[in-house]
Structure 1
Amino acid sequence: MHSISFNPVANQISTKQAAELIQVHESSIKRWCNDGELQFTLTEGRHRRLALENLIEFARGRGIEVPLAWFRGFEADVWFSTSAALTGDYSSVMSLIGSWIKSNRIGYVYRLVEYLNDQGVEWAAICDHVLAPIMTLGAEEWKSGCGTRVDEHYNAEIVNDILQFRRHSHRHLGGNVRPSSRIAVLGCPGSEFHELGLMMVRVILEELGWSVIYLGSNVPVIDLADAQRKYSAEMVCISISSAQTFAGYSRAAEVLASCYSDERPYVLAMGGPEANQGTDELSYTDTFKELLMFSDIQTFASWIGQKESQGAHRVIG
């Protein structure tokens, strides 16, 4: 059984939605309805409504390629979950993904992430509201006794695979990547081994054309400073998970500040769940060209997007 149920009216779509879904003109939908080829019902206001499942089968019969057709048996679930996500409600998406993970339909999860983005859900929002919850789903189940550490690691591998596929497919297709001399150094400092959030930042930067020096997890902060000097990087970005306290940011900023040189200025961006306390709690805020703290990927994406639109698309002016 599906994880999401709909009332008898909820899986009905308008002729306009039907046209968008199978990528034809709305007049074609109306003509097929008038000719009796496509079944429909009428609302009290005399508006046509079509059952989504019937529309998908109709399109298949005519050889019309429909992206939703890949989710055979779950077309309605995906359609209405995606519609909700476009309004900012991701609860149905996560219920669907949770059921697919439990039933080992992992291919559906990968394809849904791609489909959400194709339908207009921004990648940064997918990171915050889909990929991050997939990671916490395993951790929460383990803490409640309903899952195991294996489940948590399994979910993390799913997110890792999605991120790697995004990177490689975007490079292969060209995407929005622009040649650039802008360099960013990324790493998780100290004893920090949770790097999926940092990988999300990597994807965003690479798609904007940045060259990323990715040092990975458990990196001594001094190594981040050395890499910044070596490559004259315009940005150093570190990620610290909720396993560490706010003091982790303070220690990292202190070490980087002690090595900072005005001859090689850079922006320091620090992200993680505890980063929402803000820069006011940190010393050395005036040392760097700029200091950004962000607790979600959308905040970082918005910030870097604004910087990209300013002065020759450079963070350091």
Structure 2
Amino acid sequence: MSSFAPSRPIDLGTGAVAELLDIHPSTVKRWFDRPGLSTTSGGHRRIPLDLVLDVARARGRRVHLHGFGTHAGQAWYAMQALEHGDPGPACDVLVHWLRTRRSHLIGRFLWHVAGRGDAPDPGVLDGVFGGFMRRVGDGWERGELRIADERAASREVGEATGRLLVAAAGKADDPDPDRPTAVVGTVEPEQHVLGSQLVRLLLFHRGWNVEHLGTGVPVPEIVATQRALDASLVCVSFTPPAVAADVLRFIEATGGLADPQRPFSLVVGGGGVRGLDPSGLDEAFTELAAIGDLVALGDWLDEHG
């Protein structure tokens, strides 16, 4: 656990306020020229976040933190840590909101940190979307969270991921024969869809046509789809309780069914590939890779795409 504290007071410097409200620093000084504000030892003004949001609201300037109400400080703290590459506080605050029955804030936070810009950051998808769900799974196994909590978390993460996929619909719904095609899914009996959906999202934003088969797909169906589409890549996600031996059996079965006249690369990923050594099984594929996270997958696609 990181040092997230729900009641942590937040004071901002002039530059941070200017960035948050998208105004000039001189405007910050004018709007917050009032007695009682604290200063640093160097004489720099410190402005409470609550005051910043109140003044912004009064001046008709709405910012994303307004959507978090009295929990804006928690959201800000987690977002700042994420900007510095630390997803721990974000996962902490999401679990805190889940436990305190504020799950609506979870989806709002996920959309904000992943929905900005042209494409979601794979590190955010891994560290926040995936990291939060791993925390939820661990909490459920320890008896700290209820089934209802797990379902609420899955709903919010699933809906946020769905929004991101809709935002990429222009690429998803208009297959281009000049773009490479990938087949994505999970093999039976796997029923966890988040990993494959995040892979799908990553591929969309890297210019791939994607056929998402969903969960629990038999191996022959995966290979048949690859053949029908002449896909150059197949990505299959494995989550615990799947282990390396399960993944090896899948690789062997897939290689046995693969058509040498329609070669493709096979990427297996997720928590189930930990400890996997696929050496010696790559003869049936253009490339064979076991990749544990989306950042590494993004690097692999950049190298092999």
Give the TM-score band, short-chain normalised. Answer: 0.7 to 0.9
CA 185–170 in structure 1, closer or farther in 2 if over 3 Å, else same: closer
Q: Which has the higher mean CA deviation after the structures are superposed, 120-129 or 296-305?
A: 120-129
Cα distance in 1, alignment partners of residues 236 and 103 from structure 2: 30
1:218 matched residue in structure 2: 216
Q: Which has the higher mean CA deviation after the structures are superposed, 107-116 or 147-156?
A: 147-156
Check the 8 A contact 1:198/1:239 in 2, yes or no. Answer: yes
1:70 matched residue in structure 2: 67
Displacement, 1:230? 0.5
1:271 matched residue in structure 2: 269
Q: Which has the higher mean CA deviation after the structures are superposed, 140-149 or 266-275?
A: 140-149
Displacement, 1:3? 5.4
Check the 8 A contact 1:3/1:95 in 2, yes or no. Answer: no
Check the 8 A contact 2:235/2:267 in 1, yes or no. Answer: yes
Displacement, 1:260? 2.6
Cα distance in 1, alignment partners of residues 244 and 89 from structure 2: 33
- 2:46 is paired with a residue whose SS is strand
TM-score with structure 1 length normalisation?
0.85
**Is 1:12 aligned to 2:11, yes or no?**
yes
Any residues of structure 2 matched to 1:28-47 within 5 Å, and which?
28-33=27-32, 36=33, 40-47=37-44
Cα distance in 1, alignment partners of residues 72 and 140 from structure 2: 31
- 2:210 is paired with a residue whose SS is strand
1:258 matched residue in structure 2: 256
Question: Which of residues 286, 292, 304 is equivalent to 1:289?
Answer: 286
Displacement, 1:155? 2.2
The letter of the residue matching 1:192 is E
| Identity between Structure 1 and Structure 2 (%) | 26
Question: Which of residues 44, 47, 51 is equivalent to 1:50?
Answer: 47
Question: Which of residues 189, 205, 210 is equivalent to 1:207?
Answer: 205
**Is 1:302 aligned to 2:299, yes or no?**
yes
The letter of the residue matching 1:17 is A
2:150 matched residue in structure 1: 152
TM-score with structure 2 length normalisation?
0.88
CA 39–70 in structure 1, closer or farther in 2 if over 3 Å, else same: farther
Q: Which has the higher mean CA deviation after the structures are superposed, 280-289 or 53-62?
A: 280-289
- Deviation beyond 6 Å, 4+ runs, structure 1: none
Structure 2, gaps ≥5 residues long: none
Displacement, 1:122? 4.9
Any residues of structure 2 matched to 1:127-276 within 5 Å, and which?
127-171=125-169, 179=176, 180-276=178-274
